[in-house]
Amino acid sequence: MSNSILLISADKDISDSVGKALDGLEDVRIDREDASVSKLNGTAVEMAANHDIVIFATDPSNAADLTAIEHLTEQRKEDTVYLALTDGDLPLSKARALTRAGVDDVLPYPAANDELLEQVNSWLAKKRAALEEKYANAASLGKVIAVQQARGGIGSTTVAVNLADQLLDRKGTFKKEAANKVVVVDLDLQFGTVGDFLDLDEQEGLLQLAVENFLPDVHWVEQSLVRLPSGLAVLAAPQKFAPLDALEANQVQVLVATLKSMFDYIVIDMPRALVGWIEPVLEDADKLLIVTDMTVPAVRASRRLMEFVLADNAQLPIEIIVNHEKKPMMLREHHREAAKALDVKFNHWIAHDEKAAREAVDFGKPVSEVAGRSDLSKGIAGLAKAIMTELPKDKAVARVQ
Ligand SMILES: Nc1ncnc2c1ncn2[C@@H]1O[C@H](COP(=O)(O)OP(=O)(O)OP(=O)(O)O)[C@@H](O)[C@H]1O
Ligand SMILES: [Mg+2]
């Protein structure tokens, strides 16, 4: 996956010549912002932190610039690199002022193209190495929860998204601190709606993975996912149509392994189709949730799904999630029949709660945020709690932070 660089300059000559120098970089997306640092609007400032490297032209004698740079670097994601481009004859004291304002390095301008390229390349290499080191010792520890549906529209995406949200286990005032690192992955490549449920802009990562056929790594994952204010990481399905068989089993296997090194819990919204590349997910899963209701066709479909999965993964714990129905005081006849047909106990029931489901979808937010006291939210919270108890997070992932 490509890196991205944001080039900020009000001076067209500078931005053209630097842009041209950076054209020599392979696999790097260059975005431009034609304004001076002190004139950047809030969106641009926020956007800057989504780049690997931000290069901006500045005159450090200009107090407004310095203040703006401080503001810019305050928004930094931990690994965005800020490079200031300034007059080549900058006195040391001025360079220091820039460093104090949070700049990682000062590049002289004008500079020979290859010199600039070399500097930027070395920062990119440093970033990559740091990222790899960060996760190197965390081998495969996160817990994988795959979510399947007994029939279309039964609510599996609702369960996946909100389960992931509740697995954050937020604590503290305003529930701001997430105790767990959680990612929700939409492997329903063609019809995935996780991004819609969370009101996210289009994400192309998984499409690129499917079409370009490379093996994903930590760096690609970091570039491809979106983090919500709650801390939830989301790898959404593409809007464009991806051929289902474009993904390869080994890509998915490496993807899951990579996610396991980065997160405590990985919740995967599975495709309906039983394509070959779901096998590595099932092989690696710690639990499979099948979302169903108690109608005869859905119970039968659940059963076929269980048989299919257990044939190759006899050890995989499967849990049936009964959606649209509150847990009854006593199982009724058709419940008992269903339990018998599936040879399972129904431990988890999620009430039919149209209002809460609708609000969550309308606001593009997890139900905990828009209707925290609703039956829907409580049902999913109960499920999350049970999963955290049964599959406690591995402490080794927590070390990597
Ligand atoms: N417990 C519930 N009570 C009321 N509405 C619900 C409940 N669970 C899900 N829904 C609603 O049902 C609709 C379908 O849900 P969802 O998209 O999660 O299903 P799905 O199984 O993922 O469907 P798809 O086949 O499209 O993948 C959504 O509008 C959702 O808000
Ligand atoms: Mg769905």
Q: Determine phi and psi for 64, rounding to 5 degrees.
A: -60, -40
Residue 251 belongs to what domain range? 143-399
293 lines ligand 1 (CB under 6 A): no
Q: How many CB atoms lie within 10 A of CB 48?
A: 24
Average pLDDT, the chain: 90
Question: Tens of pLDDT along 313-361?
Answer: 999 999 999 999 999 999 999 999 999 999 999 999 999 999 999 999 9
Supply the residue whose CA is at minimum distance from atom 26 of ligand 1.
153
Q: How far apart are CA 16 and CA 229, in angstroms?
A: 35
333 in the same domain as 243: yes
pLDDT confidence of residue 153: 97
Same domain, 281 and 341: yes
The reported pLDDT for the residue numbered 40 is 83
Contact by Cβ (8 Å): 313, 356: no
- With a CB cutoff of 8 Å and minimum separation 6, the contacts of 21 are 113, 114, 116, 117
Residue located nearest, by CA, to atom 6 of ligand 1: 357
Give me the CATH number covering residue 226. Answer: 3.40.50.300
125 and 193 inside one domain: no
Lowest mean pLDDT among 35-44, 213-222, 242-251: 35-44
What's the pLDDT score for residue 21? Answer: 87
> What is this structure's pTM?
0.75
One domain, residues 195 and 170: yes
Q: How far is the CA of 151 from the centre of ligand 2 (A)?
A: 10
DSSP of 269-304: E--SS--GGGHHHHHH-SEEEEEE-SSHHHHHHHHH
pLDDT reported for residue 1 = 47
Residue type, position 244, single letter = L
pLDDT bin (cut points 50, 70, 90) of residue 2 is: low
pLDDT at residue 290 in the model: 98
Mutate to test the pocket of ligand 1, among 157, 289, 350 (most ligand atoms within 8 A of CB): 157
255 and 187 within one domain: yes
Q: Which letter, b or e, does each residue of 204-236 get, where b requires 16 or more Cβ atoms within 10 Å of its Cβ?
A: ebbbbbbeeeeebbbbbbbbbbbebebbbbbbb
Closest residue to atom 15 of ligand 1, CA basis: 155
Q: Hunting for tokens 């990985």 — which residue is that?
A: 266
In this structure, what CATH number is given to the domain that contains residue 119?
3.40.50.2300
Domain boundary among 109, 136, 163: 136
Q: What is the mean pLDDT of residues 86-101?
A: 85
- Please indicate, yes or no, whether residues 251 and 196 belong to a single structural domain of this protein: yes
> What's the structural domain count of the chain?
2
User: Is 161 found in the same domain as 103?
Assistant: no
Confidence tier at 76 by pLDDT (50, 70, 90): confident
CB of 285 within 8 A of CB of 146?
yes
Q: Which tokens is 49 given?
A: 């932190």
pLDDT category at 78 given cuts 50, 70, 90 is low
- Among residues 102, 136, 170, the one where a domain terminates is 136
Two tokens at 311? 């044939």
- Give burial (CB, 10 Å; 0-12/13-18/19+) of 240: exposed
> Does 83 lie in the same domain as 174?
no
> Are 271 and 180 in a shared domain?
yes
Based on the fold, state whether residues 187 and 236 are members of the same structural domain.
yes
pLDDT score of 401 more than 50: no
Measured CA to CA, the distance from residue 226 to residue 274 in angstroms comes to: 27
- Do 41 and 108 belong to one domain? yes
Residue 193, ligand 1, Cβ within 6 A: yes
Rounded to a whole number, what is the largest CA-CA distance in the chain?
A: 85
Q: Cα torsion for 304, 309, 312, 316, to the nearest 10°? A: -140
- pLDDT for the residue numbered 138: 59
pLDDT tens sequence across 167-203: 999 987 777 789 999 999 999 999 999 999 999 998 9
Are residues 265 and 164 part of one domain? yes
- Reference 351, options 334, 329, 328, 326; nearest CA is 326
Cα(25) to ligand 1 centroid in Å equals 44
**Ligand 2 centroid, distance to 189 Cα (angstroms):** 10
* Residues in CB range of 125: below 8 A, 6 or more apart: none
Q: What is the pLDDT of residue 397?
A: 57
Residue that is last in its domain, among 104, 136, 168: 136
Of the residues 156, 158, 326, which should be mutated to test ligand 1's pocket, given the most ligand atoms within 8 Å of the CB?
158
Banded pLDDT at 41 (limits 50, 70, 90): confident
* pLDDT tens column, 273-307: 889 999 999 999 999 999 999 999 999 999 999 99
